[in-house]
Structure formats: structure tokens, C-alpha cells
A and B are shown apart, each in its own frame.
Chain A
């Protein structure tokens, strides 16, 4: 088929809180927008998330967190990704959940390009992911895991 391949997205929930309604709503919305969403379930360690991202070769990783442990867990996810050769410049990393204003600069610094908080619509997230994927489509196929970008 001449259609472009679907965008592959990993939606994951690091840490110990078991409330995954938000993550499921986002996963479902991205699916209904035509993306292939790998949902790994709750209580994921940073290593499990990074391993799933590697094996599934996703272009986009969305992390959902409600427990307040994001400054603890997100850097470990980013590190586990880097350990596997996946730099924050090679994937779209975004976060969702209960994250206070003052923590957002630190997350952006880590490589999270966007933080969606309660009140963000699923359409905002869909549009954001699509815009990002459209902007880098030509480079994606040949990249093959080599370090790229600035």
C-alpha cells in the first residue's frame, strides 16, 4: 500500500502508582488517530521501559505518572534509554500526568519535549505527535540507530 507506515508509540507507566486510566485514554486516542500503540502496563521499571522502546523500535515514547516521583524516575528512564543507544534526540519523549510547573524546566532539560497535564485534550497530544513525526519522516528510515542530530 502506498500509505505511510503508522507511527509507533510506546505508552508506559513507570513507578508504583497503579492508576493507569490516563495512560489508557491516551493510548486509545492515539490508536484511534491511526497510530500503533504499544502499551506495557503499570509498574514498569525504567529498564523495562527502555527495553520495550528498543525492541519495539518506537519513534515516540509517552510516560504517564501520577505519583509525584517523576524527578526521581524520568532521569532513570532517559539514562536507561541512553544505555541502549537511544538518545532523547532520536525519539519524541513526552510526559503526562500530575507534574508541577516548577518541575517542567528540569524535564525539558532531560529531553522531554512536551509535558501534558490534566486538562490537556487527547487531540492536543495527537496533533503534537503528528507534527513531530511529519517533521522528521524523511530522516527516520535510514537512521538505523546511529547517533544523529545536534
Chain B
């Protein structure tokens, strides 16, 4: 059971939310912290903000380490600003599995953005979450959405083949590839390719870019039988080349989603996933709290390690005990 927040905390959440909705960036930053830390005030603020969400275009940017995600995110942001859109960015970097610390360096490539008050950049550490995002990335994006950003860009950690969580969190997913990062079979077997709404060949001034582009074109023609082909854009993010075409492709995708009714379907899917993920999390918390009280977890762990009990049966007993 989650304890009801004390009245003072509700007051704090209400106050923070009012200030956030009035455009106070300090309150926006603090709400994201409280949400990220799973603080009860953050939960309350999120509930109050929820009716204000759903307006922003959520754009995911994913791809391998060193593909240029941060630089591309920065360049895309500048282009969207040029078009009059306000932008929020959630940039995710990995936490150390050993120390739980993190070095968050995405801002290094986004320095110019910090002069623009209509751009809000927030770095997040994965805090043990797999899949390329942090546990509260979608929620942080929702807070930026509620704060009135027209577009919210979610930049994942350097993703390999199956870190595809971003596709569930974003309306439009950009997958960034670079020449020289593996043959076309690598690209084909990667789940990351299947989630692309827009494919980007970044560092298109490097050798091998044309070959990669040709491979991708052949591949998307095979993969998208019947459906519209996934657009492929060549960019040199450091020079801003191709970024206007990228912004066009991203905005065209959003329009297509809205006009085809896919946006509604996408949002139903997302609502279902979010609800189930939170329910799963809450159930696990309850089980752990209950097992902490009676020491049952340690008992079962030892029994499994001694081969007296198989893991699946132990898990069932753990849950039964918590429900009792």
C-alpha cells in the first residue's frame, strides 16, 4: 500500500504545478526531479499535470553509440525552433551498474541550446533500467508536454539491436545509423530497424554512406510491403546538412499519424503499456515490502540456491505470501 501523501505534500505539488503551468522553469525542473526520484509529491504533481498532456509531438531519437544522436538532436531542435516550435529534450545516458552513478554528457553537444529560453534540456540516467530509457523517461517527457513544449525529443542511450522502448514512448521514432557500423544483415536483424518511422544516415560525408543508403533503400522496400516506405534522410549533423529534410520527414510522419487515425491507436497502446508497467512495478514493490517484513525472500533465495526448490515455484510462493 502506498501511504497517502500528507496534506502538506499535496499543497507542495499543487503549488509546484501552478508555477510550472505559469511557465516557471525552476518549478518545471523540480517537478521532473521529484518524478524521477519517485517522490510522492512527484506522483501527485504528475496526476495534476496529466490533463495538460497529449499536445506535444513526442520524437524519439535512437541509434548506436557515437552515431551522433546528441548532435542530431541539437541540430533538429534548432531547426524546429526556426519553425517557431518550442522544444523539450530528455537525454538519457547509462548509469554504472556498479556504483549506480552516471556521467551525463549529452549537454556537451547541446551547448548552443542553453541560450534559448524556449528550449529545456534535461539529462537522465538509466538507473538500472534496460531498453535504452530511464524508468521515468516517459513521465519526464509528459511533464515537458504539460509545460507547453510543442515538441519533446527523447534521446536514448547508445542502443544496439533491441533497445526499442523508445518506440513505445514516442509518436515518431528516428533511428540514426552511420556508415561503417556493420553490414546490412546487422541492420536487418536489429529490432531497432523495425521501430524506425524515419531512418537517418548521419555522417553522410564519410566513405560508405552511399552504400549504406542504398542498402537501407533496398531493405525498406522489402520490409514495407503495402505500407508507406520508411523515409530515409542523409544528414551531416555537425554541419546542419539535411536537417531541414529531417524536420520535414518528422513533421510529415506526425501529420500522417493524425490523419490516418494511427495516433489514436498509438496512444491507446501507450496508455495500456504504461498502465501495465506501473501496475507491474507496484505489485513488485508490494511483494518486496511484504517479504522484507517476514524475511521470506532470503529463505526462498537460499532454498533455490541449495536446489531444494526451483525458481518458478519459489516465485509463486513469494507472491502467494504477499497476497496472504
Contacts and interface: CB of A to CB of B under 8 A. Distances in A.
Given A31-B103, A32-B99, A35-B101, A54 B111 contact: no
Nearest to B117: A51
B25 A55 contact: yes
B103 A27 contact: yes
A44 B111 contact: yes
A18 interface: no
Given A56-B122, A86-B26, A36 B101 contact: yes
Given A39-B105, A40-B108, A144-B15, A51 B99 contact: no
Contact of B104 (A33, A37, A84, A145): A37
B96 to A, nearest CB: 7
A33 B29 contact: no
Nearest to A11: B103
A35 B96 CA distance: 10
Contact of B101 (A32, A84, A85): A32
Contacts of B9: 142
A11 B101 CA distance: 14
A33 B102 contact: no
A100 interface: no
Chain A interface extent, by class: 35 or more
A31 B99 contact: yes
A143 to B, nearest CB: 8
B30 A145 contact: yes
Given A41-B107, A51-B114, A55-B121, A5 B37 contact: yes
A56 B36 contact: no
A142 B136 CA distance: 20
Interface string A49-88: 0011011110000000000000000000000000011100
Interface string B115-155: 10000111101011000000000000000000000000000
Contacts of A84: 25-26
Given A41-B108, A141-B39, A56 B29 contact: yes
Interface string A1-39: 101011010000000000000000001101111111111
A30 B103 CA distance: 9
B27 interface: yes
Interface in A128-145: 141-145
A110 interface: no
Interface in B7-50: 8-9, 12, 15-16, 19, 24-27, 29-30, 32-34, 36-37, 39, 41
B101 A40 contact: no
A56 B99 contact: no
Contacts of A35: 101
B100 to A, nearest CB: 5
Interface of A: 1, 3, 5-6, 8, 27-28, 30-41, 44, 47-48, 51-52, 54-57, 84-86, 141-145
